[in-house]
């Protein structure tokens, strides 16, 4: 089941791999920020995105190590795509094959390379047109 986290229901994150205080700070400091979590008894995956006027951006997506490769990342990204219903951008490390494969599955394309963006490792800017 996918649910949105807000300041009011942060207790959903108790005993999960996602740090409650990090989410609290993100939601407090980013007026465009949203957290969708995948719950399977407890929270096992999340997508953090920003819905910024005419576009949206994936800030982070992560599935805990015991639940990877079960389709949870796909479900979270799909939910975000359908919810925002607009062009989406994101940045990913050039060597992050699982994440790049996930994004390509949902028709994100590479639009630019950010030289040394991640402590010397290149980043790729990807975009998905609505």
Ligand X SMILES: CC(C)(COP(=O)(O)OP(=O)(O)OC[C@H]1O[C@@H](n2cnc3c(N)ncnc32)[C@H](O)[C@@H]1OP(=O)(O)O)[C@@H](O)C(=O)NCCC(=O)NCCS
Residues of the shown chain interacting with ligand X in the complex, contacts defined by CB under 6 A? 60-63, 68-74, 92, 96-99, 101-102, 105
Shortest Cβ 69–ligand X spacing (Å) = 4
Q: Which is nearer to ligand X, 43 or 99 (CB)?
A: 99
Shortest Cβ 7–ligand X spacing (Å) = 24
3-state per-residue secondary structure call for the chain: CEEEECHHHHHHHCCCCCCHHHHHHHHHHCCCEEEEEEEECEEEEEEEEEEECCEEEEEEEEECHHHCCCCHHHHHHHHHHHHHCCEEEEEEECCCHHHHHHHHHCCCEEEEEEEEEECCEEEEEEEECC
Q: Which is nearer to ligand X, 71 or 116 (CB)?
A: 71
Residue at shortest CB range from ligand X: 73
Shortest Cβ 93–ligand X spacing (Å) = 7
Shortest Cβ 40–ligand X spacing (Å) = 12
Q: Which is nearer to ligand X, 8 or 112 (CB)?
A: 112
Q: Which is nearer to ligand X, 97 or 111 (CB)?
A: 97
What is the gyration radius of the CA atoms in the chain, in angstroms? 15
């Amino acid at each position: 089941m996918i649910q949105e986290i807000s300041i009011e229901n942060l207790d959903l994150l108790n005993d999960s791999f996602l740090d409650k205080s990090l989410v609290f700070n993100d939601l407090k400091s980013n007026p465009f920020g949203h957290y969708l979590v995948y719950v399977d008894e407890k929270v096992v995956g999340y997508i953090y995105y920003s819905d910024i006027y005419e576009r949206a951006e994936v800030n982070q997506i992560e599935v805990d190590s015991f639940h990877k490769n079960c389709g949870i990342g796909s479900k979270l990204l799909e939910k975000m795509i359908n919810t925002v219903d607009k062009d989406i951008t994101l940045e990913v490390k050039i060597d992050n094959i699982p994440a790049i494969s996930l994004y390509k599955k949902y028709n994100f394309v590479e639009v630019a390379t950010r030289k040394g963006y991640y402590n010397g490792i290149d980043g790729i800017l990807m975009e998905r047109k609505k």
